[in-house]
Chains A and B, each alone.
Chain A
């Protein structure tokens, strides 16, 4: 299994531009999570999906952020327009039904976003 795959690994963009981060979860996993990591705020859960349906998006910072999961093997996190304070490492993680509370998640390697 290739694990959770995120792309790109690094993204540098100018303020005001649209940014799209991508995630491919582990095949067969039906939970997908998006996290943001910064020095100041640590790890923050932004949103998570179950069977491609958003379950809890209370962590999404504002309307500039949106996430979709059109099918079981792909999810995107979009920021439009981007701002310098969005600079962070964004992680995607996946898990299976009944598993999260027992086995935890499998994380991707993250996307390091820099907005200048």
Chain B
């Protein structure tokens, strides 16, 4: 079956530290991969995506590279800010005759201290 596994949180970092949130997946077929971010009290927002192997998604200083050989899509940012404090969800979608529903990981809470 299709599934997503993320590193457990919470992750606590100081401002300007380097961030890595690990995400690995299991999928039949060729999935698209996503990172969503959820700020406190809000819904999920698409952060970045990659639709095929070796693609790099990027947005707001965050990056993730679709690694088919390691079935991974780790999220990275070179210098985090307090405003990046949120919950981050890795997700995959495999196109099928049901439209390609998203399957989410369990989420990783990030807390950035000044």
A residues bordering B, Cβ < 8 Å? 4, 31, 33, 42-43, 45, 48, 50, 55-56, 91, 93, 95, 97, 100-110
Contact = CB atoms under 8 A, between A and B. Distances in A.
Contact of B43 (A42, A91, A103): A91
B113 interface: no
A101 B107 contact: no
B43 A31 contact: no
Contacts of A95: 99
A33 B44 CA distance: 13
Interface residues of B, number: 26
12 contacts: A33-B101, A55-B98, A56-B98, A56-B101, A93-B44, A100-B93, A100-B99, A101-B100, A102-B93, A103-B49, A104-B34, A105-B102
Closest 9 CB pairs between A and B?
Answer: A101-B100, A107-B43, A101-B95, A101-B93, A100-B100, A107-B44, A42-B106, A43-B104, A109-B43
B44 A48 contact: no
A101 B32 contact: yes
A103 B34 CA distance: 8
A83 to B, nearest CB: 24
A80 B49 CA distance: 38
Interface of B: 31-32, 34, 36, 41-46, 49, 51, 89, 91, 93-95, 98-102, 104-107
Contact of B51 (A48, A97, A102, A106): A102
B95 A104 contact: no
A108 B34 contact: no
Contacts of B91: 104
A102 B33 CA distance: 8
